[in-house]
Chains A and B, each alone.
Chain A
Amino acid sequence: MDENSRVEFTKEMKKEYKILIPTMLPRHLKMIASLLNVYGYDAELLENTGKEVIDTGLKYVHNDTCYPATLVVGQFISALNSGKYDVHKTALLFTQTGGGCRASNYISLLRKALKKAGYGYIPVISLNFIGLEKNSGFKLSIPMIRRMLYAVIYGDILMLLTNQVKSREIHQGDAERLADEWTVRLVDRLGNKKSLSYGAIKKTFRAIVRDFDKIPVTREKKVKVGIVGEIYVKFSPMANRFLENYLINEGAEPVMAGLLDFALYYVYGRMVEYDMYRIHKWSRFLFRIAYKVFASKQADIIKIIKEESSFDAPTPFAETVELAKQYINLGVKMGEGWLLVAEMAEHIKRGTNNIICTQPFGCLPNHIVGKGVMKIMKERNPGVNLIAIDYDASASEINQQNRIKLLLANAAQGGNQ
């Protein structure tokens, strides 16, 4: 047998294996883990973090590979080492996007690392929507994808609102507490076999927005800081050293687009590829449908937020695309590609003139869509503060904080003009 062949996750395994999920966005993934249980899986979101994770990662991943790979592999292997799990009855779940960025190789790196650590027999399930790697024991069905979409949207709303309230809340901890409460409730709902009607879900959206709107806040004007960047580092507090909380403690309000935008970017990109290269001839119809569904959900959320509160709502994706076009060709699609550029432009357009671009040290697409566009971004938008911060296992926190402090000092002065 070929030594490079992978261990499949079989139907038999589905019955008795526990599936571990790595953390990126804790709330989103907690809901996704719970919804898997509806379909007969036993999924658990990993919560181990800290130095142990990083050290384990460095041990099993080439140190020049991007930081997210180090963290994900480190989190999995240190969990397996912990003794908490029956390693012969455990599988790992990881997303795979495909594409020309080296991130598409994370799953291979994870398998290599498992082999080195003596866990070569553990199946790794690729979570993807384009038919890469099949497992007889793990199949995505349309209802399952639908539930996942809701989990993503719920997660996005909670993140969006928490960030807006947390920096201005009068009773410290209100926003976080409410978000936690809602997460428990939503985990319960998504992890329940009861069917989900979209009408009910919309009601839930509304209820969440109303609840957050009730939290007493100061009228004090906060400096808004946009966070863009490589998806893992941007979202994962473990990777970005709790950037959102750091900013809040420094008296600023973090602003970031949600995971739904990334999903939209992903499906939209496939449509662009058809236009440019005439590929995905058949699957493009499916992607077009997906795009319409995602976009309409986004429109609903925007509408609800605007109706129910004075919170800032997400930018409609069509507008996001138009903004991107002003700066970069939509053919740039590796990694976060043009989405990262669009998010910068989006922040600027909505008056958030201070932007941190978070990226793993040595991230390839970021040379192009991060640092590569900063010059024109600044030229066309005088007064914008834009900094790139590299994250990796050894980047010194003081250097990062020093640069953020500079950004905030400039911001406090009301831009640079």
Chain B
Amino acid sequence: MVYLGVDIGSTTAKLVIRNDSEILYQKYERHFSQVRHKTLSLIKEAEPFLRDEKIKIAISGSAGMGVAESAGIDFVQEVYSTYALVKDKEPDTDVVIELGGEDAKIIFLQGGIDERMNGTCAGGTGAFIDQMATLLDVTPDELDELSLKCEKVYPIASRCGVFAKTDIQPMINQGVSKSDIAASIYKAVVNQTIAGLAQGRKIKGKVMFLGGPLYYNKGLRKSFTETLKLDEEHAVFPEYALYSVALGATIFASKQEKVYSFGKLVEAIENTISEKSTVASMAPLFADEEEQKEFFDRHAAETIAVKDPASYSGNAYLGIDCGSTTTKLVLINDQKEILWSFYDSNKGNPVDVVRNCLKEVRAIASDRIRICGSAVTGYGEELIKNAFRVDFGIVETMAHFMAAAHFEKDVDFILDIGGQDIKCIRIKNNAVDNIMLNEACSSGCGSFIETFAKSMGYTAPDFAKLGIKGNAPVDLGSRCTVFMNSSIKQAQKDGVSVENISAGISVSVVKNAIYKVIRANSPTELGEHIVVQGGTFLNDAVLRAFEKEIGHNVVRPAIAGIMGAYGAAIYAMKNGSEESGMLSADELDSFTHKSTSMQCKGCTNHCSLTVNTFSGGGKFISGNKCERMKTGGKAADTGMNLYEYKRRKLSELGFVTDEDYINRKRNSSGQEDGSPVSNKTDERKVIGIPLQLGLYDLAPLWHGIFTELGFEVRFSGFSNKNVYLDGQDSIPSDTICYPAKLMHGHIERLIAAGVDMIFAPCLTYNVNEHKGDNHYNCPVVAYYPEVIKDNMECLENVKYVSPFLDLRDEAELARELKKHLPESFTGFTKAQYKRAIAKGFENYRAFRDDIRREAARIIETARKDGRRIMVLAGRPYHVDPEINHGIDLLAESLGFAVITEESVAYLSEKISTAVLNQWTYHSRLYCAANYVTGQSDMELVQLVSFGCGIDAITTDEVRSILERKDEIYTQIRIDDINNLSAVNIRLRSLLGALEMREKTND
């Protein structure tokens, strides 16, 4: 008798055969989505060990469910399988961490067994690492080796793969070393496991690590052991890590009653292959051959003349598009005909790629062709411009418009799907009217196809060709790529063909663009003359899917992939002079590039900077959120940023100091330390208040009340990444907004600082400002203190008070406060409470009025100086530097005067809205938007925290308030991602659009 365990995961299949005493055979292979065939072939390969045996079998793994079901073989859930194995092999294990292709699991074995799997939003792990390796153009093994040589670890968003990618891309473009990126990727995986899976339960004791990624990647192991502070004894990496699930399955196999002979088993699995798939599918991309021919003929005509550079002499202009994953260059002549072009992946090192290209261009040009101008656009714009002394930089949306207008004079809509981003540009009266960029969460569309093609063993063009042939494209939904991964897994489970998966992905990418980014309801909304471009549209399946979805034909220039570069070249032509200042052939030969990392000391943000120095004397610093460090570390405070002013005013209320906090943390070795917080002025008791969520707005109120009652009040201060990391292990929901997540760190900070009591009230209702139909807080702002109470174990050693209060009635508030404060904090008379509360509200109003006055001053000064004014509209807590990631500073450095939403909302009457206007903060948004529509020099930019359910409602409403009056609406989505490149593009596009509008109005 032998026991056969089969584990079919999302990317690999594993098989183990054992008898009662030993393992006889094991095998590990990628299945490239051919789940059923692979299962069969694995079993056939093992024939020598199975042929003459009686076989008991169990199948496990997420992709194994379907096979098991249709073959009538017993299925065991994989976490359960692992659990059984560990209990059998190492019963004294405390925690098991298992990372698979796309699942991450954690099992706590002692003191109440608890098994957890990653949520649907948390992305893959093994597949994620593979994807990141592809991004860096290395193999997963090389990535591992690189990581071991790292010097510095950068913060990378760990919440989901797409976000991480958004963080990594600019690091690549900015020249951060690959080994540092590699180590940072692993660190992100570790953080994700701790924050996303452990959710409040400490990972300690003997920890066993299982699964492919942890078996193969030394760097990942190192990162885990270091972060969890485990010694060798407590970090177990068994040699069966790869086969743990399959091995666990053999335990279940041994308990089965069904016994197979080899022939019977093969037969059972063979039968599953012929079974018809049941996955939802769609109509094929082409109804018949004729339709296909018409399609290809039509698009073949959209070309541009190409001239042989060898037979040309005269002026030429160079355009460079240094995109997120690819680098494109075009050289054109006076007639805008193409002399030379280039399109390739930037291989994780755009500087090298561009350098080689420029050498080639200089060689081709020789003495005959004079390069009169050069311009660069795209993510790497600044880097390339500085490295090679390129003449101009141009924001990519403008570059694309210039190129598209060359192809289709009447173009009114451009859709560009690149590797990482989707850009939509709406053109009205020959000027950019509106720009939409994809939100961080739906990005990665183009490169997703490529990465996925590779993982299935195809090149992107081949994969696209297969898509054209799909007869029933699989329906994969239209959310972010992480979701698509799961849907694809499901399709694979059901044995859908590669052709139909490829076609299905194309349709999803298209739907994503139309319904998620553009948010169109009907094709007529897009426009009459649509130009599509970007590398992703070179994929014919995507192009066809798009035409089908919108129901009419579009123009795809033959140079769809290099339109940005082409537009940049046209820009260079319009602005060029006699001779480009770009590096000469000689200078290119001796070109060197060095990058070092350092930390900015300009402000408390402490940005991680990367300093690139180039042999030509060029220097480029990246990673900074503002322009400060370029002005010698001193704040380039224009005095025109209300966010800064507000932060200054808040900090005057009294924060726990950094030193306080750090010293305490160091001393907190279990003993209760009775000493008071530092620079404490007297013997008053200290009440600590977390400066987060609703407490941002109400800080002056509580400060006033408690100070008047005779306490000292200390706020937890502004957030930074460390505050987040300190609290991340007790966050119960990984899809909640970042501000809520930060709350945990703020509490840790207050406890470490040794306050006597922490106060965080729950408020169903907010202050009534009479601008809406009601004045609720959102559920998270209202009740998060309850979540803190139930999920943070550290609260055991401190008084934590989170009463349900109501601000609308001062007498009620007094009554409730008295009821809920702990005994040692009460003992005041009714009159004292009343006086304190009155004082609190007085403070609150004074603070509010002060902000309003300052806003008025900023507006007035801006108008005098001719500065544009930006209402950077969000929630009160968006003033936090970690939540807004320095967007206010960026806007300031781009020349805007920046004010907040609530500082102008009061100037508008309550307005009528199509949605229920019932949350105080959101009513402010609507009023601010309404106010902006009457001010020609004001723009509104809305900040939206990822996961904010209410903003799914407010964003559409704010947009419609603005667009009704022909104002541009700009939305910026923020989470824990730290990179401002996308925001930069967006704000610069806004500036560009405003300038073009002005020109046409003149």
Contact = CB atoms under 8 A, between A and B. Distances in A.
A394 interface: yes
Interface string B661-672: 000000000000
Nearest to B494: A398
Interface in B921-950: 947, 949-950
Contacts of B812: 277-278
Count class of interface residues, chain A? 35 or more
A373 B790 contact: yes
Which among A65, A366, A368, A375 has the highest number of chain B CB atoms within 10 Å?
A368
A8 interface: no
Nearest to A104: B916
Given A100-B764, A277-B812, A406 B80 contact: yes
A401 B65 contact: yes
Contact of A394 (B76, B479, B519, B777): B479
A102 B953 contact: yes
B966 interface: no
A226 interface: no
Contacts of A416: 112-114
A278 B809 contact: yes
Nearest to B792: A375
Nearest to B522: A116
Nearest to A105: B916
A394 B953 contact: no
Interface stretch (A157-165, A346-354, A376-384): A376-384
A367 B787 CA distance: 8
B200 interface: yes
A399 B521 contact: no
A361 interface: yes
A329 B762 contact: yes
A405 interface: yes
A100 B918 contact: yes
A409 B912 contact: no
B942 to A, nearest CB: 14
Contacts of B984: none
Interface string B753-778: 00000000010110000000000111
B761 to A, nearest CB: 10
A375 B790 contact: yes
Contacts of B516: 63
Interface in A354-378: 361-368, 370-376, 378
A329 B916 contact: no
Given A372-B786, A393-B479, A361 B120 contact: yes
A252 B786 CA distance: 33
Given A332-B786, A368-B780, A410-B80, A403 B117 contact: yes
Contact of B735 (A100, A112, A362): A362
Contacts of B950: 102, 364
Nearest to B787: A372
B808 A277 contact: yes
A296 interface: no
A109 B519 CA distance: 15
Given A108-B915, A371-B733, A378 B120 contact: no
Contacts of A51: 280, 475
A64 B780 contact: no
Interface in A385-417: 388, 390, 392-399, 401-403, 405-406, 408-410, 416-417
A146 to B, nearest CB: 29
B115 A406 contact: yes
Contact of B919 (A100, A331, A363, A402): A100
Contacts of B779: 100-101, 334-335, 364-365, 367-368
Contacts of A406: 77, 79-80, 115, 117
A126 to B, nearest CB: 11
Interface stretch (A15-23, A54-62, A191-199): A54-62
B177 interface: no
A277 B765 contact: yes
A104 B918 contact: yes
A234 B76 CA distance: 27
B829 to A, nearest CB: 21
A394 B736 CA distance: 19
Given A62-B519, A65-B952, A375-B199, A105 B915 contact: yes
Contacts of B476: 394
Given A58-B515, A60-B521, A409-B76, A398 B65 contact: yes
B515 A328 contact: no
B71 to A, nearest CB: 17
Given A112-B956, A396-B486, A372 B912 contact: no
Contacts of B915: 105, 108-109, 112
Which among A366, A367, A378, A406 has the highest number of chain B CB atoms within 10 Å?
A367
A105 B956 CA distance: 13
Contacts of A365: 779
A65 B955 CA distance: 11
A399 B62 CA distance: 8
A116 B519 CA distance: 11
A141 interface: no
A374 B732 contact: yes
A333 interface: yes
Interface string B643-685: 0000000000000000000000000000000000000000000
A104 B75 CA distance: 43
Which among B113, B778, B779, B913 has the highest number of chain A CB atoms within 10 Å?
B779
A117 interface: yes
Contacts of B782: 100, 334
A311 to B, nearest CB: 31
Contacts of A402: 62, 65, 77-78, 117
A111 interface: yes
Contact of B949 (A66, A117, A278, A328): A66
Contacts of B120: 361, 390, 395-396, 399
A276 B199 contact: no
B762 A331 contact: yes
B814 to A, nearest CB: 13
Contact of B952 (A4, A64, A401): A64
B493 interface: yes
B119 interface: yes
A100 B733 contact: no
A309 to B, nearest CB: 35
Given A101-B779, A375-B732, A367 B740 contact: yes
Contacts of A367: 732-733, 735-736, 740, 779-780, 787
B91 to A, nearest CB: 15
Interface string B414-453: 0000000000000000000000000000000000000000
B809 A102 contact: no
B953 A105 contact: yes
B489 interface: yes
Interface string B63-104: 101100000000111111000000000000000000000000
A331 B786 CA distance: 10
B783 A334 contact: yes
Contacts of B77: 402, 405-406, 408-409
Interface string B725-738: 00000001101100
27 contacts: A62-B956, A63-B515, A63-B952, A65-B952, A102-B778, A104-B918, A108-B953, A276-B804, A276-B806, A277-B765, A277-B808, A333-B764, A363-B949, A366-B733, A367-B779, A370-B733, A372-B787, A374-B732, A375-B201, A394-B477, A395-B486, A396-B120, A398-B63, A398-B65, A399-B62, A399-B120, A406-B117
Smallest CB-CB A-B distances: 9 pairs:
A394-B477, A396-B486, A331-B804, A100-B776, A64-B952, A371-B733, A108-B915, A372-B787, A416-B113
Given A62-B519, A402-B117, 17 more contacts: A59-B521, A63-B479, A100-B778, A102-B950, A108-B914, A108-B915, A276-B816, A331-B764, A334-B779, A368-B779, A375-B732, A390-B119, A392-B479, A396-B490, A402-B78, A409-B77, A417-B112
